[in-house]
Structure 1
Amino acid sequence: MMQCTAVALLPPPDHLVALAPPGQRPETGHVLCELGGDHDDRHAALLWDEGGRPGSGVWVRWKGSGLATLAPLPWCPALDPRNDACELFAAHPSAHSWLVTDPTDDAVTRLLVDHHPGLFPEFRGGDAGREGDQDGTGGRS
């Protein structure tokens, strides 16, 4: 399943703007939704993790072009067949992270395989599909 392509712009927080030198206002940043394309109308992106404790993942959530909010959310407890954890929050509204394919990562991989096939023996016949796809994990490690 392809990753959602929604983007949110996050203006710098007021306290950061207040600390910036005169004439050097921090720029607005952007985040990309990390959920699978089949999710509901609320998008999500991980901003940072504070040590793996329950609720330690700080996520930004947004709907459409509306206001983005920050939320500490617990990690999804699901494990793939290789015992790797899902990289999303608990009760996320889409497939687990190992089933979500990042189209940008796939495009870069295809380009690298085309230009340096000897570096990617796991891709036979120019197939730039990720090695992990063969076992249903979406190539996530």
Structure 2
Amino acid sequence: MNQCTTVAILPPPEHVLALPAPGHRPEAGHVLCEVGEGHHGDHSAMLWDEGGRPGSAVWVRWDGESVRLLPLPWCPDRDPRNADDACGLFAGHPSGHGWEVTDPTEEAVTWDLALWHPHLFR
């Protein structure tokens, strides 16, 4: 399944706005939902992980009205084809596991590169 392509533009948090030199306001950034397309509920993207401990990954979750930062535990499931590969999404995520979700942008770039540089894709 393809990855959800919903994007959110997030303003910098208030504590970040207090850090830069005067006249150098940080710009808003964007996040792309990492869950499989057609999911129900909030869109979600991981912002950072503080060491792989349970609840150490900080995710941004958003809907049409609100944005929240949440520490969420990792999904404990492993890819049945390769037990060394973990899901990469949060526990209780909607839709498929990380190994079942394909980033359509990455796939399009790979196809284009393969056309231009076939010797790199054997």
Shorter-chain TM range is over 0.9
Separation of aligned partners in 2, 1:75 and 1:23: 39
Is the aligned partner of 1:68 residue 2:67?
yes
| SS of equivalent to 1:104 | helix
Higher strand share: 2
Equivalent in the alignment of 1:13: 13
Over the matched positions of the two proteins, sequence identity in percent amounts to 63
Q: Which amino acid aligns with 2:98?
A: S
In structure 2, how many angstroms separate the alpha carbons of the residues matched to 1:112 and 1:95?
Answer: 27
Amino acid paired to 2:108 = A
Q: What is the Cα deviation at residue 35 of structure 1?
A: 0.2
The one-letter code matched in structure 2 to 1:29 is G
> The residue matched to 1:19 in structure 2 has which SS?
coil
What secondary structure is seen at the aligned counterpart in 1 of 2:25? Answer: coil
Q: Residue type of the partner of 1:19?
A: L
- The Cα offsets for residues 13-53 of structure 1, whole Å up to 9 and x where unpaired, read as 11111122111100000100000002113100000001000
Which blocks of at least 5 consecutive residues in structure 1 are unaligned? Answer: 122-141
| C-alpha RMSD of the superposition | 0.8
Report the 3-state secondary structure (helix = DSSP H, G, I; strand = E; otherwise coil) of the residue aligned with 2:82. coil
Residue 47 of structure 1 corresponds to which residue in structure 2?
A: 47
Query: Which protein has the bigger helix share?
Result: 1
TM-score by structure 1 length? 0.83
| Runs of 4+ in structure 1 over 4 Å off | none
Q: Give matches, 1:14-33, under 5 Å.
A: 14-33=14-33
* AA aligned opposite 1:9: I
| Aligned-partner SS, 1:72 | strand
| Aligned residue pairs, count | 120
Q: In structure 2, what is the Cα distance between the partners aligned to 1:67 and 1:34?
A: 18
Distance, in Å, in 2 between the alignment partners of 1:78 and 1:44 is 18
Gaps of 5+ in 2: none
2:112 aligned partner, one-letter code? L
